[in-house]
């Protein structure tokens, strides 16, 4: 026995199966391009560093996640282009960052968007290999260290000193909240004439967080400030610079306390009041800078609109291709065979050339010759004699009919297409009358 042969030309896939395969392949391809462009394949940023992607004690991943859960739009940026965005930019520079470069970044943002800077304190190291339960990104805190940013806010000084009061833990107040620091032995604070305190130590009033008084008017920050600023002639076009000197207020170590988490949200919302409301955690200063490429630009406004248009055009082309899926329909030759096609092509050519009046005379001559043969008339010396003979024969059949000579003369004299067609039809009717 043998299996029945499959009909020739029949596709092994149904239209639905082909559509599903094409759609799945297109979606996977676009998703792959987006993943490459967005840098998802560039590796994890959870390296234990003190930045928005770090999940160690000194990182700020908990703050970023908390702000997202509270309804804010949060981005973790590895592009230097985001340094000019209008949202609140959170900078977490390392201890030995270039102060002049940092000052340039903050200076450019004076009229672009607000900035929140968190000073580093902890020297973090990887935990020993035999540490039970250690996960990727976990660190051990080897000790504190003061930042060295020469060239950036040189009129502001920082101090790293204990903060104890009769054996009580280090407490802070600010933004209508009160909380505790996880470590009281070494607390980082700032001092400067231009600082407007937002968070201070409860025991000694040292400044743990503040914004810089630069002549701008910042109502949201002034509303939670612990000291009424005197900004004189305020510039409403500038954006604030907020400095959190003590990182344990908002890093992963401190975010374990609910009061610290609420403090982080209030500081962020107050600083970002006049911006577009988004929060950008910069990772470029922490060694995670990624240069832009064509795929990155393709999925970034304003080029995203062009990418969407191209995808829609590809979708339309694919749909048209799918609509004719299968064997193409058989068509006839471009020029048909036979007398009818020959006459139709010739008539179309004459009409397109605008020379229809040139065929009137030859058509009348051909009709005269056909009628002469049909009536068995002798060959006469000229056309007038032939026309007279045809007229006599026509009068014998139908005395009321228009003479052939008149119709032929009218056809020869016609110039407009309508007149030529009408005279030719009348001549054709005479032929039918005489041939009966």
pLDDT in tens, 268-281: 999 998 888 899 99
Give the separation between CA 86 and CA 271, rounded to whole angstroms: 12
**Per-domain residue ranges for the chain?**
15-42+290-325, 45-126+140-284, 339-435
Contact 343, 359 (CB under 8 A): no
- pLDDT attached to residue 118: 96
Which pTM does this prediction carry?
Answer: 0.61
* 73: enclosing H helix or E strand: strand 73-77
- pLDDT tens per residue across span 83-131: 888 899 999 999 999 999 999 999 999 888 999 999 999 998 887 777 7
Average pLDDT value for residue range 63-69: 95
Contact 120, 92 (CB under 8 A): yes
Average pLDDT value for residue range 120-147: 83
With respect to CATH, is domain 45-126+140-284 assigned 1.20.120? Answer: no
Average pLDDT value for residue range 292-307: 72
Percent of the chain, pLDDT > 90? 33
Give the separation between CA 84 and CA 106, rounded to whole angstroms: 10
- pLDDT attached to residue 149: 92
Give the separation between CA 226 and CA 213, rounded to whole angstroms: 13
- pLDDT attached to residue 7: 47
Which ranges in 272-302 belong to alpha helices (H)? 294-298
Average pLDDT value for residue range 159-188: 86
Nearest to 216 by CA among 251, 253, 185, 242: 242
Query: Does residue 40 have a pLDDT over 80?
Result: no
Query: Does residue 284 have a pLDDT over 50?
Result: yes
Which residues, including other chains, have CB under 8 Å from residue 96's CB and lie 6 or more apart?
148
- pLDDT attached to residue 399: 78
Average pLDDT value for residue range 38-65: 81
Query: Does residue 4 have a pLDDT over 60?
Result: no
Query: Does residue 405 have a pLDDT over 70?
Result: yes
How many C-alpha atoms does 222 have within 13 Å on its Cβ side? 12
């Amino acid at each position: 026995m043998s299996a029945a042969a499959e009909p020739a030309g029949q596709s092994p896939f149904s239209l639905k199966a082909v559509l599903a395969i094409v759609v799945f392949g297109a979606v996977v391809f676009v998703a792959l391009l987006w993943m490459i462009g967005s840098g998802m394949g560039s590796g994890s940023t959870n390296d234990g560093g003190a930045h928005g992607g770090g999940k160690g004690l000194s990182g700020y991943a908990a703050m970023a996640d908390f702000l997202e859960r509270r309804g804010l739009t949060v981005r973790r940026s590895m592009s230097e282009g985001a340094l000019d965005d209008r949202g609140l930019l959170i900078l977490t520079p390392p201890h030995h960052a270039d102060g002049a470069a940092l000052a340039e970044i903050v200076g450019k943002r004076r009229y672009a968007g607000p900035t929140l800077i968190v000073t580093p304190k902890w020297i973090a190291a990887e935990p020993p290999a035999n540490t039970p339960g250690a996960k990727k990104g976990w660190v051990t805190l080897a000790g504190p260290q003061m930042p060295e940013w020469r060239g950036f806010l040189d009129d502001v000084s920082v101090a790293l000193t204990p903060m104890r009061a009769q054996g009580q833990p280090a407490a802070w107040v600010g933004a209508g909240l009160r909380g505790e620091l996880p470590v009281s032995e070494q607390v980082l604070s700032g001092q400067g004439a231009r600082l407007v305190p937002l968070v201070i130590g409860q025991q000694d009033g040292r400044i743990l967080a503040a914004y810089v008084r630069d002549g701008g008017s910042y109502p949201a920050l002034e509303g939670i400030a612990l000291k009424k600023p005197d900004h004189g002639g305020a510039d409403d076009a500038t954006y604030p610079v907020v400095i959190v000197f003590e990182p344990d207020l908002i890093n992963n170590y401190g975010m374990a306390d609910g009061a610290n988490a609420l403090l982080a949200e209030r500081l962020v919302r107050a600083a970002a009041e006049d911006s577009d409301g988004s929060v950008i955690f910069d990772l470029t200063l922490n060694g995670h800078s990624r240069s832009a490429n064509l795929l990155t630009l393709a999925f970034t406004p304003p080029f995203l609109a062009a990418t969407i248009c191209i995808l829609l055009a590809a979708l339309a082309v694919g749909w048209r291709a799918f609509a004719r899926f299968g064997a193409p329909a058989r068509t006839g030759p471009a020029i048909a065979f036979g007398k009818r096609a020959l006459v139709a092509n010739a008539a179309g050519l004459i009409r397109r050339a605008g020379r229809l009046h040139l065929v009137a005379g030859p058509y009348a001559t051909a009709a005269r010759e056909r009628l002469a043969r049909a009536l068995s008339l002798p060959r006469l010396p000229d056309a007038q004699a032939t026309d007279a003979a045809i007229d006599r024969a026509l009068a014998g059949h139908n005395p009321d009919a228009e003479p052939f000579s008149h119709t032929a003369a009218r056809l020869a004299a016609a110039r407009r297409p309508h007149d030529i067609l009408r005279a030719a039809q009348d001549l054709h009717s005479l032929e039918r009358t005489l041939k009966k």
